[in-house]
């Protein structure tokens, strides 16, 4: 019977980030995924500058650049206000990061993540292997039960997404509606008027949600709508999507001759980081969507999956080195909370009512659109190239 240093369930961005970080420190990792790669993942496919910086450090951007056609840079952010004001900001790289922002097809992104992980001899990767449960001995987990048998590890990291069986088993899964979002997306061909900006539409009929058009190629786009789950009782997401593509003045003009690519209309939940619960127990750590880490304002999840995966690896490495595996939980909670809990999640949750208020969004957008440097700063913040607190600079009338 082999006991790995760490068993990781799920090989998306969170799982691969954790696996690579541990392998680089010399630990033996078993990385499992129920899908056969390459596989699809329902996503808007927006990769911010902050995510791209983490992917660069993992070696994934290099691999993606060798496969042209899978990534496309975006250099601007266009936002449509409820009253139709058009705010067109350019990403001027005014922030700390010098990375670019991209739209990257998830099939390719996740395949490259897995390819990078496979290059490490310390990582054993098994796809087509579904994890169903934890093997427990008292408070401590010994490993996981899977379709390919039982596997043992000193630390277990669950990165198996929003329906994580491990988070479920430990009763740590986010099932609280006010801390969840839902989104629906499809790919369209024949879209007109696409540039090199991502487009976010806060049309009045969509509030308290929003729609997006993320260009991929001159006439192809990933198009979708996002809504906080607590509003899905009053709102049907499918109807909201249809209204967006047919009634939104901005979107419908671009979609006049477009066709939806068959089989691409899909919806999927987004577990938000504002969920107040713990993300770990003993020697089991939850990262990415399994641990509910998505930005509650923008819906950005790839960055927080990569980052929480690396924090899980850091916590695991510390306890593995000191032979005190059940302390992993305390170390992990400290690491992720210090970085995101207040700055991103608590503030983001407090900001949500403003983003759902047509008067506030309209007033803010009009004021910001009046000066190009304000619009550019907002674009930099949306592209995660600047901290959100920089938005206060916009309020300075002399800026």
Q: At what angle do helices 347-355 and 358-369 cross, to 10 degrees?
A: 90
Considering only residues 170-189, where is the footprint of ligand FAD by CB under 6 A? 183, 185
For residue 293 the two structure tokens come to 């880490």
Q: Is 153 in the site for ligand FAD (CB under 6 A)?
A: no
CB atoms within 10 A of CB 270: 23
Tell me the C-alpha distance between 9 and 144, whole Å: 8
Name the residue among 356, 360, 285 with its Cα closest to residue 327: 285
Question: In the set 70, 81, 159, 376, which binds ligand FAD (CB under 6 A)?
Answer: 159
- With contacts defined by CB under 6 A, name the span among 19-27, 159-167, 171-179, 255-263 that binds ligand FAD: 159-167
Indicate the DSSP class of residue 338: I
Question: In the set 289, 315, 319, 345, which binds ligand FAD (CB under 6 A)?
Answer: 289
Q: In whole angstroms, how close is the CB of 330 to ligand FAD at the nearest point?
A: 22
Select 268 or 351, whichever has its Cβ closest to ligand FAD. Answer: 268
Q: In whole angstroms, how close is the CB of 274 to ligand FAD at the nearest point?
A: 14
Select 294 or 394, whichever has its Cβ closest to ligand FAD. Answer: 294
Select 215 or 301, whichever has its Cβ closest to ligand FAD. Answer: 301
Residue at token pair 């979002």: 181
Interface size with ligand FAD, residues (CB under 6 A) = 38
Specify burial of residue 322 (Cβ count, 10 A radius: 0-12, 13-18, 19+): exposed
Question: In the set 120, 152, 231, 268, which binds ligand FAD (CB under 6 A)?
Answer: 268
Q: Give 173's contacts (C-beta < 8 A, 6+ positions apart).
A: 164, 167, 290
Q: Give 332's contacts (C-beta < 8 A, 6+ positions apart).
A: 279, 280, 285, 311, 312, 315
Contact positions vs ligand FAD (CB under 6 A): 9-15, 32-35, 41-46, 130-131, 159-161, 165, 183, 185, 224, 268, 270, 288-290, 294, 299-303, 305
């Amino acid at each position: 019977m082999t006991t790995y240093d760490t068993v990781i369930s799920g090989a998306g961005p969170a799982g691969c980030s954790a696996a690579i970080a541990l392998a680089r420190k010399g630990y033996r990792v078993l990385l499992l995924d129920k899908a056969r790669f390459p596989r699809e993942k329902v996503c808007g496919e927006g990769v911010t500058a902050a995510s791209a910086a983490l992917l660069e450090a993992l070696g994934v951007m290099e691999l993606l650049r060798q496969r042209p056609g899978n990534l496309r840079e975006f250099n601007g952010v266009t936002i449509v206000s409820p009253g139709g004001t058009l705010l067109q900001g350019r990403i001027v790289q005014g922030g700390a990061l010098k990375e670019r922002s991209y739209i990257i097809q998830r099939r390719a992104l996740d395949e490259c993540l897995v390819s990078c992980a496979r290059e490490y001899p310390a990582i054993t990767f098994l796809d087509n292997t579904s994890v169903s449960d934890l093997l427990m001995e008292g408070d401590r987990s010994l490993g996981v039960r899977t379709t390919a048998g039982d596997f043992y590890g000193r630390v277990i990291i669950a990165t198996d997404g929003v329906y994580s069986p491990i988070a479920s088993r430990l009763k740590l899964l986010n099932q609280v509606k006010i801390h969840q979002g839902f989104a629906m997306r499809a790919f369209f061909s024949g879209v007109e008027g696409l540039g090199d900006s991502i487009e976010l539409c806060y049309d009045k009929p969509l509030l308290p949600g929003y729609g997006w058009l993320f260009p991929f190629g001159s006439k192809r786009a990933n198009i979708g709508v996002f809504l906080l789950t607590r509003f899905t009782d009053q709102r049907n997401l499918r109807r909201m999507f249809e209204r967006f593509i047919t009634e939104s003045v901005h979107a419908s003009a671009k979609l006049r001759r477009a066709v939806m690519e068959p089989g691409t209309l899909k919806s999927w939940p987004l577990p938000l980081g504002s969920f107040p619960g713990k993300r770990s127990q003993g020697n089991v750590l939850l990262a990415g969507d399994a641990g509910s880490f998505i930005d509650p304002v923008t819906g950005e999840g790839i960055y927080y999956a990569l980052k929480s995966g690396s924090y899980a690896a850091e916590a695991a490495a510390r306890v593995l080195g000191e032979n005190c595996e059940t302390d992993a939980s305390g170390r992990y909670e400290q690491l992720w909370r210090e970085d995101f809990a207040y700055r991103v999640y608590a503030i983001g949750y407090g900001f949500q009512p403003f983003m759902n208020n047509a008067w506030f969004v309209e007033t803010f957008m009009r004021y910001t659109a009046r000066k190009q440097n304000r619009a550019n700063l907002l674009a930099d913040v949306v592209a995660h190239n600047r901290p959100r607190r920089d938005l206060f600079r916009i309020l300075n009338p002399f800026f």
